[in-house]
Amino acid sequence: MKSLKKYSIPFTGLKLGKHLFEYDIQDDFFDEFEYSLVKKATLHCEVELDKQETMLILNFKIDGTIDTTCDRCLKVLPIQLDITEQQIAKFSDEPVDEDEEIITLGKNDHEIDVAGLIYEYINVAVPFISICGEGNTSTCDKEMLDKLNSLSANGEQSEQTDPRWDALKNMNK
């Protein structure tokens, strides 16, 4: 987690107003998270921190590519990401309702860690299903598709059932 230390923004010494922080996010960032969906990436993240009297407004802009695996042919598939998110951090010593999506910063807090937020925004943006060419099989690995088709054609079973189950077929009659 030491490599994630650079994603902590010290806000106590900053003047009121907007401040820009930039990060290049590579594979080593995702190595710090054990169960990350993303293993390889080339991303650029800009965090615009707007410091106000009672809160911080963080605007995230993340763009670049991540490598996923095609769910059809298992080929490496680069996915282009363009993420824009906003997070609000409020200065308060009072506990905030858990339903609110606001970070609470106490009197003793002097920095805000954005690594977890960046990680979360990227992983949520990963498509649930990744297929080469949006379903167009011309970009998929032909050898793998041929193997899958041959296995599925040979694996078809006839309508023969196990005779032990035949007695159950007559139960609804």
* pLDDT at residue 96, as a whole number: 63
* pLDDT at residue 70, as a whole number: 85
Q: Which residues pair with 90 in a beta bridge?
A: 55, 104
Which letter does DSSP use for residue 173 in this model? -
Which tens digits make up the pLDDT trace of 84-131? 999 999 988 776 666 568 888 888 889 999 999 999 999 999 988 888
Residue 122 lies in a domain: yes
Neighbours of 80 (CB within 10 A): 8
Residue 170 lies in a domain: no
* pLDDT at residue 159, as a whole number: 61
The CA-based dihedral angle spanning residues 141, 147, 153, 155, taken in that order and rounded to the nearest 10 degrees? -130
Q: Where are the beta strands (DSSP E) in 8-99?
A: 8-10, 17-25, 40-51, 55-69, 76-91
* pLDDT at residue 60, as a whole number: 97
For residues 118 and 23, the answer to whether their CB atoms sit within 8 Å is yes
Residue 73 lies in a domain: yes
Residue 13 lies in a domain: yes
Residue 139 lies in a domain: yes
Residue 138 lies in a domain: yes
Domain that holds residue 39: 4-149
Residue 43 lies in a domain: yes
How high does pLDDT run on average in the chain?
Answer: 85
Its pTM surpasses 0.95: no
Which pLDDT band holds residue 152 (cuts at 50, 70, 90)?
A: confident
> Is the model's pLDDT at 1 over the cut of 60?
no
| Phi, psi (deg, nearest 5) at residue 147 | -65, -45
Q: What gap in Å lies between CA 113 and CA 32, rounded to an integer? A: 14
Total domains in the chain come to: 1
Residue 160 lies in a domain: no
